[in-house]
Structure 1
Amino acid sequence: MGGGISIHCVDVANGKLAVGMRVELRRLSAQGEPLSPLLAEGCIADNGLLQHPVLMSEAITAGGYEVMFDVGGYYRARGDVVPSPAFLERVPYRFHIADTAQHYHLPFKFTAWGFSLFRGGA
């Protein structure tokens, strides 16, 4: 697969794909701050991926991006008991794309207390 972004979320505490987790994608300004409006948003699908047409389109250009993961909201929606506010409410991940011909796969593996984010191979 060439170009674009894929975002894959796994709730490792429960050994499940994070179906229903809310995710947002924004561009970053030249100063590194998130810009409005959102570039893409939605909930993680049954396959563990954010499915949004922008992610694999010409809209993904070189530059900085921020993905925001709603961890606290995800656990509350599951009915899990988490503190208010949760230890992890919203987790931002900022990254940059230099080569738009490459695919950027972003696996987000998390619990209510920690996470791992990296550029994976897809």
Structure 2
Amino acid sequence: MGISIHILDTALGRPATGVPITLARLTDGKWSSLNVATTDADGRCKHLLPATEALQPGNYRVHFETIAYYNRHQLSGLYPYIEVVFTVTEGEQHYHIPLLLTANGYTTYRGS
């Protein structure tokens, strides 16, 4: 199943579309890029982990390039990018990482 993302712009009350996202995994002390994607019309990236990659225990990083979204909507955002680092534990098959976004703040959590 892998890793999925959903971004909602809570200030505007709509999905954050067209946000560039990069997924990386920490291996031997170095971040290795696994995939680059962009949120769809619903603010989602349903399959951020490529089908050719197995979800392995360890640390992963999602980089949200929020400046692209702010610029497209003529917003002045405080965070040009947001990085969320999380740990995948043994036996887990899916991680959903939602991001609730405003121009001056954000919240994230483990979704379902």
- Mapped contact 2:63–2:81 kept (Cα < 8 A): yes
- Mapped contact 1:6–1:55 kept (Cα < 8 A): no
Partner Cα distance (1:12, 1:92) in 2: 18
Partner Cα distance (2:52, 2:97) in 1: 16
Picking from 7, 12, 34, the partner of 1:39 is 34
Partner Cα distance (1:45, 1:19) in 2: 6
Question: What residue in structure 2 maps to residue 64 of structure 1?
Answer: 59
Query: Offset of 1:112 from its aligned partner?
Result: 1.0
- Mapped contact 2:37–2:48 kept (Cα < 8 A): no
TM-score, normalised to structure 1, is 0.79
Q: Percent identity?
A: 32
Alignment RMSD? 2.0
Question: Which residue type is aligned with residue 71 of structure 2?
Answer: R
Instruction: Report matched runs for 1:6-17 at 5 Å.
Output: 6-17=4-15
Question: What residue in structure 1 maps to residue 89 of structure 2?
Answer: 98
Number of matched residues? 112
Q: Which runs of 5+ in 2 are unaligned?
A: none
Q: Structure 2 vs 1, CA of residues 42 and 53 (structure 1 numbering), >3 Å: closer, same or farther?
A: closer
Q: Structure 2 vs 1, CA of residues 65 and 19 (structure 1 numbering), >3 Å: closer, same or farther?
A: same
Partner Cα distance (2:72, 2:13) in 1: 17
Instruction: Report matched runs for 1:47-58 at 5 Å.
Output: 47-52=42-47, 54-55=49-50, 58=53
Query: Offset of 1:54 from its aligned partner?
Result: 3.1
Question: What residue in structure 2 maps to residue 114 of structure 1?
Answer: 105
Query: Offset of 1:77 from its aligned partner?
Result: 1.7
Query: Offset of 1:57 from its aligned partner?
Result: 5.3
Partner Cα distance (1:56, 1:63) in 2: 18
